[in-house]
Structure 1
Amino acid sequence: MPPDVSLVLGFLNTVDVEQDTDVLRTEPDWQAWARERGLRADALADAVRARDALRASVGDPDAASGEVGAPVEVTLTAEGPRLAASSALGAVFAAAARLAVRGEWDRVKICPADDCRWAFYDRSRNRSRTWCSMKVCGNRQKARTFRERSTERGACGQLGG
């Protein structure tokens, strides 16, 4: 997976609805997450706001949208312009900006399953993937829909008698 995608997804998935875990619940967990990536942790409250805003921008209906920012520098190197950041949030925003510039931001999505909400990167040719995993979340939803339809048909059949 490209580094920008990996960093953005890693940050978006610091919350796991299914496992009921959240890296941004405690300062030590957040600092450890940033340190593991060679980054300096920003204030925890800023990280929570940034994650919510990013998750909202890619389709999480449960996340609070808002305008947030982090310092990012543009430097000119021999290879050309480069986005650089001195903090974890700056690095995540720089990665998100590079995805947007490359026309790939709309490939970052949130699984619509209420018990999942995992962020994933849609690699499908027409960018139409809905579920983080068709084998897990997609299959669960299809089974749920099938059961609901079967129950409705059964109830209708009993009423019509």
Structure 2
Amino acid sequence: MNDRAPAPGELALVEALVNTLDVEKGADSLDTEAGRTAFGLTEAGVPGARELREALRAACLAHAGREVSTASLDRLLAAAPLLVTVDGAGAAALRPADPGALASRVAAAIASAHADGTWPRLKACEAEDCQWAYYDRSPAGRSRWCTMAVCGSRAKMRKYRAGRAKG
């Protein structure tokens, strides 16, 4: 959908999951074998992955400034067991209790991204017909669209036309 670099570190997993649905075209890559394989899913795991994806999209929209409920994400992550691990240097990290469980992998990625301050920069495009997840690398962290060339231009043109229609 856009040409931005992927989110850093484990946050790329969250971004990729949210972007399994192309809102504009209605295409869901979780409907394909390749799409399911990319996340270690079976067909039986797809409904849960879709619920998680949409809950994550809501959080990304919240990062972009939209008022949304994140209660379903809270519920899904509460059921995703994590373990605290300590490496040879004594550094602690949260890891999925079941490395194959998508929700646990996502929970660990969010915890890591929160710890390093990158979590709030994972946003969803403001355009209703897009909502593509992207990592905001702008200095001020105030990017609103996945790409200025498409979604940003469309929004500015709609605003311009609305202003001309009033005048």
Q: Does residue 1:33 correspond to 2:45, yes or no?
A: no
What stretches of structure 2 of length at least 5 have no aligned partner? 1-5
Give the distance between the partners of 1:43 and 1:75, measured in 2 at CA: 27
Partner of 2:48: 46
Report the structure number with the largest CA radius of gyration. Answer: 1
What stretches of structure 1 of length at least 5 have no aligned partner? 154-161
Give the distance between the partners of 1:114 and 1:29, measured in 2 at CA: 27
C-alpha contact 2:22 2:130 (8 A) present in aligned 1: yes
Give the distance between the partners of 1:121 and 1:75, measured in 2 at CA: 27
| Aligned-residue identity in percent | 34
Partner of 1:106: 120
Give the distance between the partners of 1:3 and 1:103, measured in 2 at CA: 12
State the Cα distance separating 1:44 from its structure 2 match: 2.3
State the Cα distance separating 1:148 from its structure 2 match: 1.6
AA at the equivalent of 2:59: S
Q: Does residue 1:58 correspond to 2:60, yes or no?
A: yes
Helix, strand or coil for the counterpart of 2:37?
Answer: helix
TM-score by length of 1: 0.78
Give the distance between the partners of 2:119 and 2:9, measured in 1 at CA: 14
Q: Could you list the per-position Cα deviations for residues 117-141 of structure 1 after superposition, in whole angstroms to 9, with x for gaps in the alignment? A: 1011111111111111111100111
Number of equivalenced pairs:
148
Q: Could you list the per-position Cα deviations for residues 91-137 of structure 1 after superposition, in whole angstroms to 9, with x for gaps in the alignment? A: 22211111111122110111111111101111111111111111110
C-alpha contact 1:11 1:92 (8 A) present in aligned 2: no
Helix, strand or coil for the counterpart of 2:76?
Answer: coil
C-alpha contact 1:96 1:105 (8 A) present in aligned 2: yes
Q: Does residue 1:68 correspond to 2:73, yes or no?
A: no
Aligned alpha-carbon RMSD (Å):
2.5
C-alpha contact 2:14 2:56 (8 A) present in aligned 1: no
Alignment CA distance shift 1:64-1:15 (3 Å)? farther
Partner of 1:83: 94
Give the distance between the partners of 1:98 and 1:152, measured in 2 at CA: 48
Q: Does residue 1:6 correspond to 2:12, yes or no?
A: yes
Give the distance between the partners of 2:84 and 2:17, measured in 1 at CA: 22
